[in-house]
Chains A and B, each alone.
Chain A
C-alpha cells in the first residue's frame, strides 16, 4: 500500500513474508521449466484473437439489430430511443408503472440532465456518492430502480460495459430490483475485443477498480437446470439505446 504509516503491523509482516516467498515460488517455476528465470518479456506470437477476427465489423444498423437480438434472447429488454429526453420519459413511466419508491442513479451529468427528480416527485431519488455521510450500499440495496450510463457495448455478445469511479458505484447496476442502462449508440461496437483491447492501451495505472460486462439479467440454472431469473443481481434489465 502506498501509505505505509496506516498499514497495520500484521499486514506489513504478511507483506514481508510474501516478498520472501515470491522469490522461492517463482524460482521454483523456472527450475521446473528447466531454465534460468525469465525476466524479459517473451515474444508472444499468438496474442489475441485469430488474425482476421479484428477486421470483422457490422455497420451501425447491424450492430443495433444484433445487440437487440442477443440481449433479448437471454431475457434482457432493449428499447430503441432517439433522444435522452425520451429516455427520461421512459424511466419516469416505468417508475410510475412499477410503483417505485426509491431510485438510485450514478452521479453523472448526463443522468442529472434527465431531471428525474422533477418528473418523479413522489419517488425518492438519490445520486450515487453525492453525500459522504450517506450509507450508499444500503441506498442501492433498497432501490427499486438503478440507472446507469454504459461506457461501451459489444453487439456480438450483447454486452454493456459499466465501470466504477467515485461517481459511478458498482452497486447501482447490481443491487436494485430493476437496472436501466442508457447506451448512446455511438458507444456500441461490434466485438467484445473493441472494449477489451483499450484496457491494454490505457494501461494499469488508469484502469478503474471495477469493470463490469453485463449481458442480461441475473440468472441461474442450478436447480434442475431450470432457468431462474434474478437470483442475486437484477432480474429485470433494460438497455435504452439512444441516438
Chain B
C-alpha cells in the first residue's frame, strides 16, 4: 500500500468520502453485523463470559507487567529450539534484518501469511524494491495487494470490496475473465498460490501468541495458508510484536477461547498451529532455518504509562471494530493508519508518538463505549480516547477556538448566576430563528447538526425559573413518605457510612 495515499487529509475528510460510498458502507455494515452477532452467540454458548474476559485480562496484565522476564525467557527458549532471534527497535531495524536474511538466502520470492506487524512496517514495499516477489497468501490480503491497498479491517482485510470488484482484480491477475462467483474466485487463488507456496524461498508470518516457557509461536487461521508458509519454504521469518507473549500453553487455552469467539464467533479457527523451532533434522518438511524478529516500533513507550500500558494487552481480534458504529459507517481506510477502528484510533497515535499529527483520529468517536464492552481483555478504549484528547490539549495542540470556548464554559459553570444570565440571553437570541418550535438554521456550529436534524429551542421558562412554584405546589399536595420507604433509605445511608463514605445531611 502507499501509506501517503491513505494518510492524506483528515479523518473527517476521508470519512466524508467513505460516507458517500454506499457500497462500502453496506459491505462493512453487513459483515460487521454478522461478526458481532456471531461473537454474541459464541460467547453466550461458552457461558461465564465475564469471568473468562477477566481471566484473559489478568493473564495479559501479568505478562505485560513482567514483560522483561517473559520476553527474555521466550528468547532464550526459542534460541535453544534453534531459532535465530532478532530485535528491532523500529521499522528501519526490522526491515534491515529482513533484507539481510533475504539477500543472504538469495531469495527471489517470499510468500506471506497475514501479519499486521508486516503491514505496520510496510515490509512488502522494501522487498519489492529489492526485486523480490512478495505474495500475500491470505485470500483477503491477496485481493487488497492486487488493489494496491492496505487492510481495512484487522481480521477481514478486504471487507470493503464486493465480489464484482474482486472478480475484476482477479481477472486482470489471471489474464482471463473470471465470473463474480466466490467459489470460482477462491478456486483461482488456490491454484495460483499453490505454485507460489511450493516455489517460494522464504515464508513470512506474523505471530498471534509466543509462549515464553517453551519458546513456541502460535498462529490462528482458517485458510491453511499460514500452515503452507511455515511448512513449505526452506526459510521462515516471523515478525512478532514484542507484546505477543503469554507465559504457558496453559494460558493459551484462555486465549484460544477468547480470540476466535471474539473475532469471528468460531469455537476455534480451523487451524491453530504451535511451532517450536525449525524442522528437526530428520523431519521431511518444515523450515530448515527459522528467524523470529521481535519488533518494538513504539510499543515499549506504552510500558509504565498508567493510561496506555493496557493497549499492549490487545490480542487483535477486531471485536471493537465490529461493534463500533463509527467504523461501520466510515470503514477502515478512513482511519488513515495500519490499524483501524477503536483500537486503531488509540494505537496509531500511541505507537507513532505523535499525538498532534493524528489530531482528529481520537475525535472520530462518540465515546459510546461499545468497544470497551466488546473487548475480550477489557481494554478501556473509550477512556483512552479521552486521554488522547486531553494530552493533545495539555501539549498545546488543541484547537484555539475550542480552547477559548472551553475557557468560557468554565467561567459559566463556575457560577450558576452567570449560567442563568447566559441562558436568558440565549433565549432572546434564538427568537428570530425559532419557527414552529424548531430551529433549522444551517450556519455556524448548527450547520452540521441541522443538516440531519431540527433543533429543539430553549423552553420559555427554564426548570430553575419554575422551581419555586413547582416546589410549593408539591409540598402542598404530596403525601408524606411512608415508613417502609424511609427505612429503605436509611438502611442505604447506614451501608454507605459503613463502607467509609461520609458526608450528607445526616452527618
Contact = CB atoms under 8 A, between A and B. Distances in A.
Nearest to A165: B283
Given A25-B294, A233-B223, A18 B84 contact: yes
Interface string B265-280: 0111111111111111
A218 B267 contact: no
Interface in A130-169: 136-138, 140-141, 156-159, 164-166, 169
Interface string B286-316: 1000000010100011011000000000000
Given A158-B267, A220-B223, A204 B276 contact: yes
A157 B276 contact: no
B163 A219 contact: no
A241 B66 CA distance: 43
Contacts of B215: 204
A156 B42 CA distance: 12
B345 to A, nearest CB: 23
A58 interface: no
B186 A231 contact: yes
B182 A33 contact: no
A21 B194 contact: no
A47 B251 contact: yes
Interface residues of A, number: 90
Interface in A193-243: 193, 196-197, 199-200, 203-205, 207-226, 228, 230-234
Interface in A16-34: 17-18, 21-22, 24-30, 32-34
B65 interface: yes
B441 interface: no
Nearest to B166: A223
Max chain A Cβ within 10 angstroms of own Cβ: one of B85, B101, B162: B85
A209 B222 contact: no
A215 B182 contact: no
A29 B67 contact: yes
Nearest to B56: A46
B182 A224 contact: yes
Contact of B163 (A128, A223, A233): A223
Contact of B286 (A70, A159, A170): A170
Interface size class of B (residues with CB under 8 A): 35 or more
Max chain B Cβ within 10 angstroms of own Cβ: one of A14, A34, A165: A14
Contact of A230 (B162, B190, B213): B190
B266 A29 contact: no
A97 interface: no
A197 B250 contact: yes
A191 B38 CA distance: 21
A213 B31 contact: no
Contacts of A4: none
A41 interface: yes
B247 A38 contact: no
A193 B280 CA distance: 26
B190 A232 contact: yes
Interface stretch (B70-78, B380-388, B456-464, B485-493): B70-78
A233 B182 CA distance: 17
A203 B232 CA distance: 26
Interface in B135-169: 137-140, 143, 156-159, 161-163, 166
B367 interface: no
Given A222-B138, A228-B183, A214 B84 contact: no
Contacts of B162: 224
Given A18-B86, A213-B272, A223-B185, A50 B284 contact: no
Given A33-B67, A222-B156, A223-B182, A232 B225 contact: yes
Contacts of B282: 129, 166
A74 B270 contact: yes
Interface in A33-62: 33-34, 37-42, 44-50
A15 interface: yes
A209 B278 contact: yes
B68 A26 contact: yes
A37 B112 CA distance: 35
A210 B250 contact: no
Given A165-B283, A231-B224, A222 B190 contact: no
Nearest to B184: A228
A140 B224 CA distance: 15
B227 A170 contact: yes
A27 B65 CA distance: 14
A121 interface: no
A47 B100 CA distance: 38
B223 A33 contact: no
B77 A204 contact: yes
A48 B214 contact: no
Interface in B97-140: 97, 100-101, 104, 137-140
B54 to A, nearest CB: 8
Contact of A197 (B75, B249, B303): B249
Contact of B266 (A74, A137, A207, A213): A74
Interface stretch (B6-14, B252-260, B325-333, B395-403): B252-260
A8 interface: yes
Nearest to A34: B304
Contacts of B137: 232
Nearest to B167: A223
Contacts of A15: 84
A32 B71 CA distance: 14
B495 interface: no
Given A50-B52, A141-B198, A166-B280, A209 B286 contact: yes
A219 B274 CA distance: 19
Contacts of B34: 225
Contact of A199 (B59, B69, B161, B214): B214
Interface of A: 1-2, 8, 10-11, 14-15, 17-18, 21-22, 24-30, 32-34, 37-42, 44-50, 70, 74, 128-129, 136-138, 140-141, 156-159, 164-166, 169-171, 174, 191-193, 196-197, 199-200, 203-205, 207-226, 228, 230-234
20 contacts: A8-B104, A14-B97, A15-B84, A24-B87, A29-B303, A41-B73, A48-B254, A137-B285, A159-B272, A166-B282, A170-B285, A171-B232, A199-B216, A204-B214, A210-B274, A215-B267, A225-B159, A228-B186, A231-B189, A233-B227
The 3 closest A-B pairs by CB, nearest first: A233-B224, A222-B140, A129-B284
Given A21-B87, A199-B274, A230-B186, 6 more contacts: A26-B68, A197-B250, A205-B80, A209-B275, A232-B225, A233-B224
